[in-house]
Amino acid sequence: MRRERISQLAHAHHPVASPLGDESVRRLLERGLGDEARHVLDLGCGSGEWLVRALVTYPRLRAVGVDVSESALTRARHTAQILGVADRLDLHQADAADFTSTQLFDLVLSVGAAHAFGGLLATLAAAREHLAPGGRVLAGDGFWERDPSPDAVEMLGDFTDLATTVDRVTVDGWIPVYGHVSTRHELDAYEWDWTGTLASWALDHPGDPDSSHALAAAATHREEWLRVYREAFGFVCLVLRRNSEGSV
């Protein structure tokens, strides 16, 4: 069973592929876009939930999304059509690290996709290349709430604690103008939705050749979450600006 199909099925009830509730996504977009934004870019946009929500809320906004996943982009296109915003959304199937554009953007988003760039600071460096003067970056990445086990590091990557994460960002010349730390409820809801929706699909489709694999994948993921990383993993979204000279 392809990873992409697992991910598509698992996200059916939680289309934002990051541990954030709808109200958190709304507020982060509001703080990232402000009143003036006209162009937004999402590097690692997945199924385009952030962009589509922004386009629905801000009728003068135009959006560009980049992702390697063809199936995620197909879902983004479909959602945008249903919600009547497809004419303001450009989607590119590409490696986000290599994406170039002549357009500069008032907001560059990258949530849960830092691995595509080699970490949070590399993500910010890539985002900066696309940023209009005075623009903002909305970046979301993991951090360690508690010391992780070696298995958790192996599974999720090498994060630091929250204060160190923010320190590194500010030393790099970024100024946080808003932030959101996913709550225990948001972190758990994401995992219950992911594992539970995939398991439900398997139970509802016993004749599908992928059914038993999906059920096993849901069980493995739930086990890893509960035993390996639930206590250690946190997730933070930062809305960042640079000062007018581009340095602090």
Ligand X SMILES: C[S@@+](CC[C@H](N)C(=O)[O-])C[C@H]1O[C@@H](n2cnc3c(N)ncnc32)[C@H](O)[C@@H]1O
Q: Note the residues at the interface with ligand X (CB under 6 A).
A: 16-18, 44-46, 49, 66-69, 72, 95-97, 111-113, 116
Closer by beta carbon to ligand X, 49 or else 191: 49
Per-residue tokens: 11: 């996200």
Q: Tokens 């993993």 map to which residue? A: 233
> What's the min distance (Å) between Cβ of 244 and ligand X?
28
> What's the min distance (Å) between Cβ of 162 and ligand X?
19
Q: Which residues contact 115 (CB under 8 A, 6 or more apart)?
A: 157
Distance, CA of 188 to CA of 20 (rounded, Å): 10
What residue is closest to ligand X based on CB? 46
> What's the min distance (Å) between Cβ of 219 and ligand X?
21
Closer by beta carbon to ligand X, 118 or else 245: 118
**Dihedral of CA 177/183/189/191: which sign?**
positive
Closer by beta carbon to ligand X, 16 or else 131: 16
Which amino acid appears at position 115 of this protein? Answer: H
Closer by beta carbon to ligand X, 16 or else 85: 16
Cα-only R_g, the chain: 18
Closer by beta carbon to ligand X, 56 or else 97: 97
Per-residue tokens: 164: 């160190």
Closer by beta carbon to ligand X, 218 or else 237: 237
> What's the min distance (Å) between Cβ of 202 and ligand X?
22
Displacement of CA 159 from its chain's centroid (Å): 16
> What's the min distance (Å) between Cβ of 25 and ligand X?
8
Q: For the chain, first and last CA: distance in Å?
A: 48
Helix (H, G, I), strand (E, B) or coil at 92: strand
Helix (H, G, I), strand (E, B) or coil at 26: helix
> What's the min distance (Å) between Cβ of 91 and ligand X?
11
